[in-house]
Structure 1
Amino acid sequence: MELEAAVRADDTAEFLRDFMSPCFRSPSCEWGSAVAKGPLTNADRAIRQLVWKWLYLPQRASSDIIYISHRQGGANVPHMGDLCDIATVTHAFHLLTCPDRKVRTIANATLKETVGKRAARAPAPQDTIAFLNGSLENDLGRQGGEMSSLWSRAATRRLGKRIGCHWTWAEEREEMGILIPRINSDQNTVVIPPARKLLERVLKSTLRCLYAENLKKKPDQGKVFEVSSKWTASNHFLSGRSFTRFIDWRFVHRARLNCIPLNEAARFGNRDKRCRRCGYENETLPHVLCGCETHSGAWLLRHNAIQDRVVKALPPTLGTVMEDSVVLGTNSLLRPDIVITNEEVKKIIMVDVSVPFENQSAAFQAARLWKIVKYTPLADTLRGYSVEIYTLLVGALGSWDPQNELVLEAYGIGKKYTGLMRQLMVSDTFWWSRDIYTEHVMGHRQYQDTQNN
């Protein structure tokens, strides 16, 4: 048995040595580890068409949304070309840092052999790192030394151009690692042999962040995404479609990418761009959902749907709750949406609900500041009370504002129900927004005002 094991080990070592050699030919590809990108490009194109149909998006929609995670509002479908490059780099790193000493030794020896043939001399560790990073400087750039092998540098070069990752050498530990910069951050992640299993995950996460940042930079299709990507609850329906109608599903993705067919969206011809209901000069989605006075009744119902969710979740120990009424003991005519008064501790909590359109984060900041300016004079008249003013913001297309967590914390609502309540508020909001849009375009009432019956 020991003899058979030794023979098998020798055969495996010989195969590994030949496989990682620059002269190894694979029957399925041109050179060892080389993967043709043509079929992958065709697969990506077919997948993109299917995802567009699934999300009910037009062809002009940004393809970035396909490769972004569910948590940020994307389809979470991997790009085949990216997976190929990640697999190549990850496989090479795993071989060079393999816990099995024999595999690690063979891998490093064949890499050194490949670099030596490229540079026509015995390579130093820095030469090996430069080779893996695709450097063409000094001896590595000489004519006639290029060859394909498992240690192909194209994958690292492509990823390096996009996310800035590169191989690095630590002199103090005498080991190699891969440095991966974080998107929009000065911090970097260095994957070293003890954390070798994290490499694939970090590379995939970094590429998803890259697609997200690319979409945020687009002034037309990225302004809503810049807000909706900040909190998981804004996109809860992507993984399970909880509390979401099919008609809402077909609406919300197009709306968030500003691909809704309104008069202002007409890109060709001399079509009248005025609002078909009120005559405003530009019929845009923000105008329809938050600016056309024709739908003021629906706005109120959308607002009240969020407010009712909050009131139902309030624990009785907070104090006396008043809705949409003047504050007792003052001469102000202001009517905060929710006022909670606790006479025992002399504390008043005012909360106003607002549904702004997601015109980037600045729109949410302006809405919150306006509410604070509006109710601060009222709070100053309440002598002897500790007054707290909060604004609960949910975007017209279902974007949950992270600062809403301060409101939920002040209420003392349980964590379990808080997660459910976020999802319900988000779904209620774009449910109403879809009905407002459909009524605006078709001219038929989409809801029943039960509050006035």
Structure 2
Amino acid sequence: MDDATLISLVQNYEEIYNLKHPDYGNQQRRDNIWEETAGIMKRTAEGEFYEHLGVPTGYHVARSAEQVLVKMTENLDKVDESLLAPWQKFDAMNTFILPCLSFHLKNGVVRKKSLNDFDKSLKAAGKRWLNLPQRAGAEPLYLGYRMGGVNLLPMALLADVHQLVHGVRLLQSSTVGKLSQTILQAVVEKKIRTTAQPSDLVDYLNGRMDGAFASESIDVTNVWTRLGLATRRIRSKINVEWSLTATEEPQLQLNGFSLRASEVEYSLRCSIREYFRRRLLKKPDQGKVYEVTSVATPPNHFMRNGDVTRDWTVCPLMAPAALDVATNGAADVDMKMRRYHTFSHLAAVTRRHNAVLDRLVKALVPHEGTTVRVNQCVGGMDDGLRPDLLIVNGAEKSAVIIDVATPFENRYAAFEAARNENRAKYGHIADHFRRQGYDVCADAFILGALGGMGPG
């Protein structure tokens, strides 16, 4: 890397580290709400607003984060054009750029069009970083790192999550909780034009649109009107709803369990990622590999920080192959990976198998009196079979028979078939030791062609 490139990278990172809310140059500045000389709060007229931590606040809510999104788009372009590794680009987005919007999504009103425009740019860039064609599904972008994704979320859906988080924290606050519920009741009564019961509050928060709630609202847009709409939208994806506590206070439930303010955001994000994982697995082609790799976390270690990879060159093959999409419009990746397991590539398959076996042997620390045999025939057997790994302890009367398998990740059934095949293959050797009074474990260590690992 030459000096000019290095300096450019450092400058990009410095700018990301020092991201601040930009000045709202396109909004008319109001007089300070405090008179510095008298210390008296001014009354804001209808249509006026003041800025609270960069969020316009007033009787009629002004649009928020327009300039923030412009700045975020500029930084997205800089990250996209940089020489950072793909995992570093995603880390920069998740750590420095996307959090700039969090406060606005919780406390302001951000236009959905602006969010969608930024989301399109982010989704297109994310697919490029993963070397995915634009026609590929976007679900891998929205899975967690442990599932083999990169921890993003659609911006409009993220806005709904933040609305629910803000609502829960207001209602559960030890300082403003009672006040928040009182204001919520006033909003509901203005909607249904009668005294609101506790059940009416949860119906309103759940976005009910029939009966007394079918009438056109005469209220101004506020945190509670936005919360009801956000709940209604997000319920189409995850099992979340508002209910009443024993003391008839509104509470948010996820899959039937009540959420505390300290855990609500994490729980909602995890549930939404699981929604995208299930949606991906339902796809007949693009979900077959992720059905395996999203189950066990060890194969996805490099997605977050590039561990055990020299330059993340594995990603340009892994991601397209995992989604079973062609990278250049030619032959399907699935067929390429299947041909990898044919006799023409037997030497490469053998090297991979032996590398996995060598790593297992290296990690093994046998107890005293234990005999370890690698790829050797078993004494007393004349079948010529050579288990990959045979660990025998005569004193403890224990025996472990392990065979390494590297099948292609063609749904999880392929891993189960490989495991059952190996158990059957060495079953009579296990019986041989059992007849001698040994406690025997016979199983397979499965590491797929694309790095998927059998959790068994």
- Do they superpose with TM above 0.5? yes
Partner of 1:392: 445
Contact 2:63 2:109 in 1 (8 A): no
Task: Give, in angstroms, the shift of residue 205 of structure 1.
Answer: 1.3
Partner of 1:421: none
Using the TM superposition, name which of 304-313 and 105-114 deviates more: 105-114
Partner of 2:90: none
1:263-302 matched pairs, under 5 angstroms: 265=331, 284-290=335-341, 292-302=342-352
Task: Give, in angstroms, the shift of residue 372 of structure 1.
Answer: 0.9
Contact 1:119 1:145 in 2 (8 A): no
Task: Give, in angstroms, the shift of residue 283 of structure 1.
Answer: 7.4
| Residue identity in the other structure for 1:175 | E
Note the alpha carbon deviations across 1:33-88, whole angstroms, 9 max, x for none. 43310000001111111111211111122101111110110011232112211111
1:313-392 matched pairs, under 5 angstroms: 313-317=363-367, 319-382=370-433, 383-386=435-438, 387-392=440-445
Partner of 2:298: 233
* Count of aligned pairs: 362
1:135 aligns with 2:208: yes
Question: How many angstroms apart in 2 are the aligned matches of 1:231 and 1:45?
Answer: 30
1:163 aligned counterpart, secondary structure:
coil
Task: Give, in angstroms, the shift of residue 149 of structure 1.
Answer: 2.2
Task: Give, in angstroms, the shift of residue 110 of structure 1.
Answer: 2.1
Contact 2:60 2:220 in 1 (8 A): no
Question: How many angstroms apart in 2 are the aligned matches of 1:210 and 1:142?
Answer: 33
C-alpha spacing 1:372/1:238, structure 2 compared with 1 (3 Å): same
1:66 aligns with 2:135: no
Question: How many angstroms apart in 2 are the aligned matches of 1:311 and 1:93?
Answer: 51
Task: Give, in angstroms, the shift of residue 381 of structure 1.
Answer: 3.4
Contact 2:387 2:402 in 1 (8 A): yes
Contact 1:40 1:81 in 2 (8 A): yes
Question: Where in structure 1 do 4 or more consecutive aligned residues deviate above 4 Å?
Answer: 7-12, 143-147, 261-266
Question: How many angstroms apart in 2 are the aligned matches of 1:63 and 1:118?
Answer: 39
2:402 aligned counterpart, secondary structure:
strand
Question: How many angstroms apart in 2 are the aligned matches of 1:391 and 1:60?
Answer: 37
| Counterpart pick for 1:97 among 164, 172, 178 | 172
C-alpha spacing 1:121/1:328, structure 2 compared with 1 (3 Å): same
1:203 aligns with 2:268: yes
| Residue identity in the other structure for 2:258 | V
| Residue identity in the other structure for 1:128 | L
| Counterpart pick for 1:56 among 127, 131, 134 | 131
> Which blocks of at least 5 consecutive residues in structure 2 are unaligned?
1-37, 44-48, 51-56, 67-106
Task: Give, in angstroms, the shift of residue 380 of structure 1.
Answer: 2.6
C-alpha spacing 1:98/1:297, structure 2 compared with 1 (3 Å): same
2:379 aligned counterpart, secondary structure:
coil
Task: Give, in angstroms, the shift of residue 28 of structure 1.
Answer: 2.9
Question: Aligned Cα RMSD in Å?
Answer: 2.9
Question: How many angstroms apart in 2 are the aligned matches of 1:136 and 1:261?
Answer: 46
Note the alpha carbon deviations across 1:131-189, whole angstroms, 9 max, x for none. 1111122211124657532212211110112113111112x2222211112xxxxxx32
Task: Give, in angstroms, the shift of residue 239 of structure 1.
Answer: 1.1
Question: How many angstroms apart in 2 are the aligned matches of 1:67 and 1:9?
Answer: 48
1:189 aligns with 2:257: yes
Contact 1:34 1:150 in 2 (8 A): no
Task: Give, in angstroms, the shift of residue 217 of structure 1.
Answer: 1.2
Using the TM superposition, name which of 247-256 and 60-69 deviates more: 247-256
Structure with greater proportional helix content: 1
2:314 aligned counterpart, secondary structure:
helix
Question: How many angstroms apart in 1 are the aligned matches of 2:360 and 2:169?
Answer: 51
Question: How many angstroms apart in 2 are the aligned matches of 1:64 and 1:283?
Answer: 19
2:110 aligned counterpart, secondary structure:
coil
C-alpha spacing 1:8/1:94, structure 2 compared with 1 (3 Å): farther
Task: Give, in angstroms, the shift of residue 114 of structure 1.
Answer: 1.4
C-alpha spacing 1:74/1:114, structure 2 compared with 1 (3 Å): same
> Which blocks of at least 5 consecutive residues in structure 1 are unaligned?
1-6, 13-17, 182-187, 267-281, 404-453
1:247 aligns with 2:298: no
1:197 aligned counterpart, secondary structure:
coil
Question: How many angstroms apart in 1 are the aligned matches of 2:162 and 2:346?
Answer: 54
Contact 1:23 1:149 in 2 (8 A): no
2:313 aligned counterpart, secondary structure:
helix
Contact 1:228 1:400 in 2 (8 A): yes
1:305 aligns with 2:371: no
Contact 2:63 2:108 in 1 (8 A): no
Contact 1:352 1:392 in 2 (8 A): yes
Contact 2:406 2:447 in 1 (8 A): yes
TM-score scaled by length of structure 1: 0.74
